[in-house]
Chains A and B, each alone.
Chain A
Amino acid sequence: MFFIKRILIIFFIFLVIIIGDLVTYDYVEKEDKIKEISSKMTSISPSFSFASKEYKKFVYDK
């Protein structure tokens, strides 16, 4: 039982870190920034490359 309790304590610490990160993240600010820039674009396309031909076609043709 001591072993299980020790594992539960470790997982609890992980959970606190994750919940803390989720709660403190400013989703509203990020959404506003994305909306602000996307409203200026006519046709949005993700600004990253991708290691598949299909995806490159998607990025550059759309």
Chain B
Amino acid sequence: MIEILVSIFMLSGASLGLLAAIGIIRLPDLLTRMHASTKSGALGTSLIMVGVMLAFLEPVVTFRAFAIIMFIMITSPVAAHVIARAGYFVGVSLWDGTVKDMLKESYDADSHYLRSGFEGMEDNGESDDMDKSEDSAR
């Protein structure tokens, strides 16, 4: 019985991994490729580690597999965020069908200053505030 459960977990994890690979080769853009690979790959590996837990059924192995799952679940979004940020700074071109790039309107690529869109609301001294925040951002 437990073998069937382990087989189901392994097959679903491997299918999610294959889905991530198909997404990474078929999608048109850096961000969409990352969207496919990060979430689906992390979930596939986590399902296979759940299969490892069920296959061994020892506390030591369960703890190790749980540590791997937690590590992947923590590091995968962080790595995706950092790579996407670096890719946007480098200037990777977005897909032709991109509807809206909200960061492009309010972000200054030279000074790395991100406007919030509410700068005109304050009455006075806004230019000084902008200069200070630019300096602190550097």
> Do A and B truly interact?
no
B binding-site residues for A, Cβ under 8 Å: none
A binding-site residues for B, Cβ under 8 Å: none
